[in-house]
Chains A and B, each alone.
Chain A
Amino acid sequence: MSNPVSFIFSGLFVILAHGAMLMNIFFNGNYKNTGDLALLAAVVIGLDILFYIIMLFWKQNTYTVDFMLILILNMSTIFQASFGGVHMDKDVIKHIITCIAAIAASRLGFWLVRDYRRIQNRRAYIWAGIGFLMLVILVCCGRRSIWIDLGFITIQPSEFIKPLLVLACATSINEQQHKHKFLSFNIVWENVILFGVVAAVCLFQWWCRDLGSIPTFAAIYASGFLLRICYPKTKFSKKTLIAAISAVVLICGVGIYFAPDYVRARLFVDVWSDTNGDGYQQSQALIGIANGGWFGKGPGFGFLHNVFAHENDIVFATISEEWGLLYALMMTVVLLFICSSPLIFPPRSYFHGTMCAGICAAITVQMALNIFGSCNLIPFTGVTIPFISAGGSSMVTSGLMVGMLIAAQNPVFTKVKKKKKQGNSLLSPLKQRRSA
């Protein structure tokens, strides 16, 4: 353990921040009986303390991102529990369980990629995992849907492709050294495979009508691709870069031109001309933000909780209305700080660097799609804000990704002894798949 003083301080201040929020609800908010609020407070503070105790068992260089994680998770619990008046019903309990699952996932991610050489040698499992998930979507999600309904819980398998894609980008980066001659071209096979997989995933999402996650995948690949250009020993001229960018623009243009009507209707929609139809959610979200102002109407006093998808698709507006735009902005600052932690702690290997860039891309793009989409800056897609929106799959994958981010700051460098360790290491990709 590095710095016990800052460690205790961090924990105390996280509890303070949550306490202040709960106090705000107590004096300012809308709740029917104090019992619900007390229960919420007990759960939140209890989770904080429990997390603090759990952290005592892990030796790390830094705990900052861990505390940021518990800060944002319990913030989101408080937000979700107080929408439209404090309530501790099934949805909130589900949210708390997914929060705990996110913490568990972060530990799993941490354990998985801490030693990058271990995962590097087993990247076949990652490719297999992506293929497996796509197969699952194809088989299990009937009628071109993106959800698998298990009765008590619905899973969105496409979410789990995101961390796997990040890992695929990161593990294949070292292969840049191994070029192969093919028809007088120097080719790195993993680059071709990676491009093929990303294209397949994007086409697949298009087919599933899950248009919102395409930009996320594209951003993850773009960050990996940019780093590939700069990787030592890969010669990638500026001409090729310009050609690649213009190809992307061309594909986007053609895609929009030939897009089916329902896509185009979504791309070019004037929300104010159709406030009761397609523009309903966005216009209500904007009215909600305007109604809340800088300081909000008070926790639980908004009207947006009557709107469909208030807890995920337009969650930024719901928080803005009840807690104020200022608070909602600070919430995004916390998330941005999680993303920017690799700037304070530079990753020590190229694998971890690529992984951090991919995770940062995934988180910021999802935030941007959700916030700007619900506020009518860009087309509206049903993407979630990591940790803030309700939704199990997104919560677990985001937890996994943040765990990987923490691992990048606490790296282990060991030599892989090939024969001896391969036996038990088979477990890791298996576990990963099971978590998906």
Chain B
Amino acid sequence: MDTDKLLLCAISAAALDLCILVLIIASYCEKRSDKKRWRSVSADMEIADANRSFPLSCDEILIGRHASADIRLADLSVSRYHAMLTVADGVWTITDIGSKSGVYVNGSLVRERRLHENDVITLGSKRLLFRKRRDK
């Protein structure tokens, strides 16, 4: 094969490679703005118990004792699938999904309730705080 022909092939392949690379880099750059945008959707909230905090990074958060739960509370007083957090327009809602011990927000038993900042959620013997996200 002629060298100039080979060179042209190499240049055209390299240009494609470069383009793919640039798009991947751009994708990672854009990821930051995506995080920012999610923060506005989720009102930048998080759930915390005494020891740790749980980020809320998607629109459906399952709370329960089961291993597949997003927020896993290893306590026998919590049902396997206890409650579900959902978000829309920056508003978080908690829903009881058939738990045995019920969901309490600020002390009152609820089926479904809109959450406000610093609300205390009680699931069985566990207490969780709904609060603004704190950067470590």
Contact = CB atoms under 8 A, between A and B. Distances in A.
Verify whether A and B have any Cβ pair under 8 Å: yes
A13 B22 contact: yes
Contacts, number: 147
A17 B18 contact: yes
A10 to B, nearest CB: 5
Given A20-B11, A327-B16, A413-B59, A62 B81 contact: no
Interface residues of A, number: 55
A324 B23 contact: no
B88 A413 contact: yes
A9 B19 CA distance: 9
Nearest to B6: A295
B54 to A, nearest CB: 15
Given A9-B22, A337-B24, A64 B30 contact: yes
Interface in B6-24: 6, 8-20, 22-24
Contacts of B59: 348-350, 411, 413
Contacts of A64: 23-24, 26-27, 30
Contacts of B33: 2-3, 61-62
Contacts of A19: 15
Contacts of B41: 348, 413
B16 A17 contact: yes
Interface string B77-118: 000010010011101000001000000000000000000000
Which among B12, B29, B34 has the highest number of chain A CB atoms within 10 Å?
B12
A348 B31 contact: no
Interface stretch (A22-30, A94-102, A200-208, A377-385): A22-30
Interface residues of B, number: 48
Contact of B27 (A323, A341, A411): A341
A350 B66 CA distance: 18
Given A62-B30, A330-B13, A233 B81 contact: yes
Contacts of B19: 13-14, 16-17, 71
Nearest 10 CB-CB pairings of A with B: A20-B15, A2-B33, A6-B26, A17-B19, A64-B27, A24-B12, A20-B12, A232-B62, A62-B30, A13-B19
26 contacts: A6-B29, A13-B22, A14-B19, A16-B15, A17-B18, A20-B15, A24-B8, A24-B12, A64-B24, A232-B62, A232-B66, A233-B81, A295-B5, A323-B9, A327-B9, A327-B12, A330-B17, A333-B20, A334-B20, A337-B24, A345-B27, A348-B58, A348-B59, A349-B58, A349-B60, A350-B58
Given A23-B11, A330-B13, A413-B89, 15 more contacts: A9-B26, A13-B22, A20-B14, A20-B15, A68-B23, A71-B19, A232-B84, A233-B97, A326-B9, A334-B16, A334-B20, A348-B41, A348-B59, A349-B58, A415-B91
